């Protein structure tokens, strides 16, 4: 059975998502994707490391054999490999 999803607004608590940068896919802006802004990037041969901002949060993501670089300041979409992320409870708001 899949775990029940509780919207953060109803949970009245902060939740932290924990995962490696690889389960985050950077995609063009599209419906259903989380919107992020590229803060910085580094080309490292076969991969590009991205520092991203989502609201007030910062994330890291990696694109392998990604083709074109997403320039700093670009708004992008994010998709997450949900089975590779863990949610941790934070302090109640």
pLDDT attached to residue 57:
81
List the pLDDT tens digit at each of the 93 positions of the chain.
344 444 444 444 555 555 555 678 888 887 778 899 999 999 888 889 999 998 888 888 888 876 788 899 999 998 877 666 666 666 655
Residue corresponding to tokens 């054999």? 65
Q: Which pLDDT score, from 0 to 100, does residue 60 have?
A: 85
Q: How confident is the model at residue 67, as a pLDDT?
A: 72
The residues near 53 (Cβ < 8 Å, ≥ 6 apart) are 36, 37, 39, 59
Q: For domain 19-92, give the fold.
A: OB fold (Dihydrolipoamide Acetyltransferase, E2P) (2.40.50)
Whole-prediction pTM? 0.67
Helix spans in the chain (H)? 8-11
Residue-level pLDDT at 46: 84
């Amino acid at each position: 059975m899949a775990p029940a999803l509780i919207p953060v607004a109803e949970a009245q608590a902060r939740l932290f998502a924990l995962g490696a940068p690889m389960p985050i896919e950077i995609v063009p802006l599209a419906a259903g994707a989380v919107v992020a802004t590229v803060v910085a990037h580094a080309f490292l041969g076969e991969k590009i490391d991205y520092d991203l901002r989502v609201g007030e949060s910062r994330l890291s993501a990696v694109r392998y054999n990604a083709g074109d670089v997403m320039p700093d300041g670009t708004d992008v979409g994010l998709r997450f490999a949900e089975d590779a992320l863990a949610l941790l409870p934070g302090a109640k708001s």
